[in-house]
Amino acid sequence: MEQEKKLTEQESLHLITMMINKAKESYHDTGIGAIMWGAVIAICSLVRLSEVQFGYKLPFDIYLLTLVAIIPQIFISIKEKKERKVKSYDDAYLDYIWLGFGISIFLLIQITNNIFGEWGSWANEYKNVTGKSASFRFSEYVAPLFLMLYGLPTFITGAACKFKPMLWGGIFCWVCCIIAIYTSIKIDLLLTAASAVLAWLVPGVIMEKEYRIYKKEQAQLNV
């Protein structure tokens, strides 16, 4: 590009539009984080489902896997930030949204654990007095709460990045949230696994594929 070439008004406008579009196309997520979280949540839900279905219990809580997954996520985030040559305004907001999501999930776990503790003693007392089990089971309503939260950052990310698989993934989480209110815990777990696959794993695989194509194109341009 020549530095001092004088432009006509039409050429200027065309150049501005072209460069703005080039800047927009420059952001490519590797998709690794989405793939990992989609797989982790799906595995946790399916293992818990098998525990409920076949009546066994692992010596540890399978959901601890989500805590372990935070370590590779930190490395993935650092690596992606280092490789990024450009920082968009959306990046900063989306980072905060996903951080807020992580904090909200942590708080929701604390809240539900607390309710389980209180509810358990109340249900036992009810059984002792009436001789019947309580018809209300709080555990049936835990999955919808999580699914509601899963949908929010996924939907926002999909809309902000104009990435339809994630946008629809977020909507799918909310649809599953509504269904899970009326279904048994086994179906709830299946819906959670399906949401994780459709909201994160599948979009992650698509992102990773697009990223590889982008990298290949860049490598060819630089030859």
Residue 19 near another protein by CB under 8 A:
yes
Options 70, 129, 221, 223; binder of another protein; rule CB under 8 A:
221
Residue 83 near another protein by CB under 8 A:
no
Distance CA 132, CA 136 (A): 12
3-class SS letters over 44-80? HHHHHHHHHHHCCCCCCCCCHHHHHCHHHHHHHHHHH
Distance CA 55, CA 169 (A): 31
Distance CA 167, CA 175 (A): 13
Q: Is the Cβ of residue 1 or residue 71 nearer to another protein in the bound state?
A: 1
User: 3-state class of 152 per DSSP?
Assistant: helix
Distance CA 163, CA 17 (A): 21
Q: Are 127 and 171 in contact, with CB atoms under 8 Å apart?
A: no
Residue 16 near another protein by CB under 8 A:
yes
Stretch that binds another protein, among 5-13, 31-39, 57-65, 127-135 (CB under 8 A): 5-13
Residue 89 near another protein by CB under 8 A:
yes
CB of 61 to another protein, least distance (A): 39
Options 36, 77, 91, 187; binder of another protein; rule CB under 8 A:
91
Stretch that binds another protein, among 6-14, 30-38, 63-71, 182-190 (CB under 8 A): 6-14
Token digits for 180? 């899970």
Q: Is the Cβ of residue 1 or residue 223 nearer to another protein in the bound state?
A: 1
Token digits for 147? 């699914």
CB of 162 to another protein, least distance (A): 14
Q: Is the Cβ of residue 19 or residue 64 nearer to another protein in the bound state?
A: 19
Residues forming the site for another protein (CB under 8 A): 1-7, 9-10, 12-13, 15-16, 18-20, 22-24, 26, 82, 85-89, 91-92, 218, 221
